[in-house]
Structure 1
Amino acid sequence: MDNLESIFIGLALSAACGFRIFVPPLVMSVAAIYGHLPLSSGFEWMGTYPALYAFGIATIIEIAAYYIPWVDNLLDTVATPTAIAFGTWIAAALFPNTDPLLKWTMAVLAGGGSAGIIQALTSFTRLSSTALTVGVGNSAIATIESIGAFALSGLAIFVPLLAIGLVVGLLFFSFSKGLQIFAIK
């Protein structure tokens, strides 16, 4: 795997953390176990069965919790900083082994940043749904986010160029909507 492909995969998986935090590490673990994803040194443990089981259990709990009314909004409070941390960590696991300062700076800015922006978009969407539907519509949003996390994670592994294109599109959409919300008329 070349350096650019590793960066694309890392960024796309980091962005997927904005939808569901534990889905990208689960997909990474499966891909590493089956030899589809080489991990940077120090992160090889992600390609083990104990890591796979831990990520699987965490994913099930996380997805289920988003279907409990009002708990989903509370989870968003914790999920935002956690998504940034996991996005950073995932990017570092896949970015090329270069100078550690460069690697971790890129991971924080690109990986953590993309995860944080996507998480902010999903949090805002859920908050709007709660206000407009008194929480009734949140289960539909939770389903879409879970599907998005699995789809983006899978695309990141198998079609990284398409996945990074989707991430760029989501980031552009997030920024354009953010500018519309805060525009002074």
Structure 2
Amino acid sequence: MIDALSDIGTLSALLAGISLSAAAGLRVFIPILALGLAARSGVLELGAQFQWMASDPVLLVVGVAALFETGAYYIPWVDNLLDLLATPAALGGGTVIVSSLLPEMEPAAQWTTAALLGGGSAGIVQAATVAARGVSTATSGGLGNFLIASVEAIGSVIAVILALLIPIAFGLLVIVGLIALLVWVLRRLLRRSAREPSAAPPG
């Protein structure tokens, strides 16, 4: 019985981590802040080497960063520049989030698993938002990006709340959504490559 409860707790924490990582693809610092606060309040348990994420200095810095990140995305054209920084940051953030919630294991296996589940989840969502922002910038000159920024910020907050309240149910839903997003991104990339003219052979 105890082992079963432990397994459910591990699954719950892992799915919460995947959901928070997906939210990091929308806004990098909001889910990291939420993870630290959740650990501080006892909702989630961080690995021993990740206790620093719930410390006062880290929560303060991440909170300020979350505010700046959210506000900066409402500045036309700056948002596109931020995507260049947010993409690797989201991959790293998602990896750290999942790694902090994994059971203790051999470091290489832990970080590889975290990179696949956490970094992959954040990367898929980030790729979709970059594509959507690119379309908006091209069609509206960046004016429509205000709506995208709002959807991203609100979506990140909602995802964080659901990840903490109903981690298993929401985590499974997120996984299904991530698979659908991945298919959409890949199809878009394939269509774009098919439309690009092939390079002319050297004369």
What's the TM-score once normalised by structure 2's chain length? Answer: 0.86
Tell me the amino acid that sits aligned with residue 158 of structure 2: A
Match of 1:100 in 2: 107
Return the alpha-carbon distance in structure 2 between the equivalents of residues 25 and 179 of structure 1.
28
Q: Does 1:37 align with 2:44?
A: yes
Return the alpha-carbon distance in structure 2 between the equivalents of residues 9 and 3 of structure 1.
10
Return the alpha-carbon distance in structure 2 between the equivalents of residues 120 and 167 of structure 1.
16
| RMSD between superposed Cα atoms in Å | 1.6
Q: Give identity over the alignment, percent.
A: 43
Structure 1, residues 117-159: CA drift from partner, whole Å, max 9, x if none? 1101001111111111111110110010001111111111111
Unaligned runs of 5+ in 2: 1-5, 196-203
- Aligned equivalent of 1:129, options 125, 131, 136: 136
Structure 1, residues 51-70: CA drift from partner, whole Å, max 9, x if none? 22111100000000000010
How do 1:124-163 and structure 2 match up within 5 A?
Answer: 124-163=131-170
Return the alpha-carbon distance in structure 2 between the equivalents of residues 178 and 72 of structure 1.
20
Q: Does 1:3 align with 2:13?
A: no
Match of 2:3 in 1: none
Return the alpha-carbon distance in structure 2 between the equivalents of residues 180 and 85 of structure 1.
25
Q: Number of paired residues? A: 185
Q: Secondary structure at the match of 1:39?
A: coil
Match of 1:112 in 2: 119
Q: Secondary structure at the match of 1:171?
A: helix
Tell me the amino acid that sits aligned with residue 149 of structure 2: A
What's the TM-score once normalised by structure 1's chain length? Answer: 0.93
Match of 2:88 in 1: 81
Return the alpha-carbon distance in structure 1 between the equivalents of residues 148 and 80 of structure 2.
12
Tell me the amino acid that sits aligned with residue 42 of structure 2: G
Which moves more between the two structures, 62-71 or 89-98? Answer: 89-98
Task: Tell whether the 8 Å contact from 1:84 to 1:111 is kept in structure 2 after alignment.
Answer: yes
Q: Does 1:175 align with 2:182?
A: yes
Which structure has the greater CA radius of gyration?
2
Unaligned runs of 5+ in 1: none
The ranges of structure 1 where at least 4 consecutive aligned residues each deviate by more than 3 angstroms after the TM superposition are none
Task: Tell whether the 8 Å contact from 1:29 to 1:47 is kept in structure 2 after alignment.
Answer: yes
Structure 1, residues 4-59: CA drift from partner, whole Å, max 9, x if none? 11211111111111000000111112111211111011111112222221111000
After superposition, the Cα gap between the structure-2 partners of 1:169 and 1:132, relative to the gap in structure 1 and judged at 3 Å, is farther
Structure 1, residues 73-116: CA drift from partner, whole Å, max 9, x if none? 00001111111011111111111112222211100111111111
